[in-house]
Amino acid sequence: MKKDSRLSSVLHALLHMAEREGPVTSEELAVCMHTNPVVVRRTMGLLRDAGLVVSARGSGGGWQIMADLEQVTLRQLHETLGEPAIFAIGNRNETPQCLVEQSVNAALDDAFAEAEALLLERFSRITLAELAAEFQRRHAAYRQGQA
């Protein structure tokens, strides 16, 4: 299956918005991310429903961040997106009768659960503010390289 890149997308959009005064339109975000405004609205709509951003219609409208960058974690965003499946590998049959398959499933499920726990734990420790700071560092380094 095609990978779910919405987490990456909303992070990109949120940081972009954080760098700007005033609302950003779906059209702008779509151009910047090489995608379609409707896709932006669909995904950002989930963040709006969670209260992380607000949208305004009509002239001068667009999207704005309502959350504290220090408080929003990657884990929270993952949850807001509906906790999509993390792994592209899984069991052939989730509820097998066969004891052989049950043993295999149990072993794999254990390993995946542990890796998922680690990933989510890391996600819960990364805030938007940290990503913004990391971007500032890269930006400064880039300008230094240019000068």
Partner DNA sequence: CCGAATCGTAATAATCGAAGTTACATGAAA
Partner DNA sequence: TTTCATGTAACTTCGATTATTACGATTCGG
Q: Give the residues lining the site for DNA (CB under 7 A).
A: 1-6, 9, 25-27, 34-39, 41-42, 44-45, 48, 55-63, 84-85, 92
- Residue among 7 and 50 whose Cβ is closer to a copy of itself: 7
Q: Using CB under 8 A, which of 8, 38, 45, 68 touches a copy of itself?
A: 8
Per CB under 8 A, contacts with a copy of itself among 46-75 are 74
How many chain residues bind a copy of itself (CB under 8 A)?
Answer: 56
The dihedral of CA 81, 116, 120, 13: what is its sign?
negative
Residue 60 has phi, psi (to 5 degrees) of 80, 5
Instruction: State the nearest-atom distance from the C-beta of 125 to DNA, in Å.
Output: 24
Measured CA to CA, the distance from residue 146 to residue 92 in angstroms comes to 52
> Any idea what the Cα angle at residue 117 is, between residues 116 and 122, rounded to 5°?
95
Q: Which residue is it, tokens 């240019």?
A: 146
Two structure tokens written together for 84: 């999509």
Residue 115 binds which entry of DNA, a copy of itself, ligand FES, none, CB below 5-8 Å type-dependent: a copy of itself
